């Protein structure tokens, strides 16, 4: 049976060396001190003494809250995995001699995918003699990359594979950031719709009130008062 090798750093009394290079809780360099003094300083600050570089001579240690450090590291790892699992690769296919209208439509779709936090694989499809002119695909892909530069960057440069040429664009923002912006935009639109509905209700209420006041006035004056004075009988 193989021995289990721990990847956890040595902390506190598990650091069995005569002296260490100590870094304070704020990142300040304290210097080389005896291990006993480093442990005493950790106790005085109510912190842990953590070995951050065991290969150094002497080992580099730091005063920190190890429990908080592990929690924050786990949070970052989960966020990284979430971003990786949420990343979707969309694909957009173009012909090397695409017309301007279709090109603009494709660029709009690609920009929307990138703003949503997804990668986009661009495929240029060659036919017949077009295969002998790869510069058509390269120039088109460079033009496209420039047109969406505010939303994405080239992750994989144009590459010829048989009859097709590929390029991969990556979003400039993380998926989580894109979703947060989309949620904020939805909330804004919802608030605007609610405000518009409230304004319509207020207007309708004012109109009803005005109609009721006019009806009450007419009733108070009586039928004779409502007659046109220019009419003779």
What digits encode the pLDDT tens for the residues 127-175?
888 888 899 999 999 999 999 999 999 999 999 988 899 999 999 876 6
- pLDDT score of 197 more than 60: yes
| Three-state SS sequence of the chain | CCCCCCCCCCEHHHCCCCEEEEECCCCCEEEEEEHHHHHHHHHHCCCEEEEEECCCCCCEEEEECHHHHHHHHHHHHHHHHHHHHHCCEEEEEECCCCCHHHHHHHHHHHHHHHHCCCEEEEEEECCHHHHHCHHHHHHHHHHHHHHCCCCEEEEEEEEEECCEEEEEEEECCCHHHHHHHHHHHHHHHHHHHHHHHHHHHHHHHHHHHHHHHHHHHHHHHCCHHHCCCCCCC
Strands 119-125 and 152-161, sheet pairing? unpaired
Separation of alpha carbons 31 and 56, rounded Å: 13
**Top-confidence residue, 193 or 145:** 145
Residue 2: what pLDDT? Answer: 42
Residue 45: what pLDDT? Answer: 92
Residue 228: what pLDDT? Answer: 54
Residue 216: what pLDDT? Answer: 77
Residue 219: what pLDDT? Answer: 75
pLDDT digits (tens, 9 = 90+) for 101-135: 999 999 999 999 998 888 999 999 998 888 888 99
Please compute the mean of the pLDDT values over residues 34-45 and round it to a whole number. Answer: 94
Residue 51: what pLDDT? Answer: 94
Average pLDDT across the chain, whole number? 84
Name the least confident of 38-42, 81-85, 157-161, 198-202: 81-85
Separation of alpha carbons 124 and 185, rounded Å: 34
Residue 38: what pLDDT? Answer: 94
- pLDDT score of 217 more than 80: no
- pLDDT score of 227 more than 60: no
- pLDDT score of 233 more than 50: no
**Top-confidence residue, 183 or 158:** 158
């Amino acid at each position: 049976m193989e021995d289990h090798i721990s990847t956890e750093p040595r902390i506190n009394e598990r650091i069995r060396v005569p002296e260490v290079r100590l870094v304070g809780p704020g990142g300040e360099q304290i210097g080389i001190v005896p291990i006993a003094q480093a442990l005493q300083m950790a106790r005085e600050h109510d912190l842990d003494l953590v070995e951050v570089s065991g290969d150094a001579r002497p080992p580099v240690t730091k005063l920190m809250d190890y429990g908080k450090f592990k929690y924050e590291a786990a949070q970052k790892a989960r966020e990284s995995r979430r971003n990786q699992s949420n990343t979707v690769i969309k694909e957009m296919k173009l012909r090397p001699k695409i017309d301007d209208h279709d090109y603009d439509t494709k660029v709009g779709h690609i920009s929307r995918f990138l703003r949503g936090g997804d990668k986009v694989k661009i495929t240029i499809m060659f036919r017949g003699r077009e295969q002998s002119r790869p510069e058509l695909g390269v120039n088109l892909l460079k033009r496209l990359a420039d047109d969406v530069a505010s939303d994405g960057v080239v992750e994989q440069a144009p590459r010829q594979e048989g009859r097709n040429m590929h390029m991969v664009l990556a979003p400039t923002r993380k998926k989580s950031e894109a979703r947060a912006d989309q949620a904020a935009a939805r909330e804004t639109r919802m608030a605007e719709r609610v405000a518009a509905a409230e304004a319509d209700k207020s207007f309708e209420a004012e109109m009803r009130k005005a109609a009721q006041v006019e009806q009450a006035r007419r009733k108070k004056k009586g039928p004779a008062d409502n007659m046109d004075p220019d009419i003779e009988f």
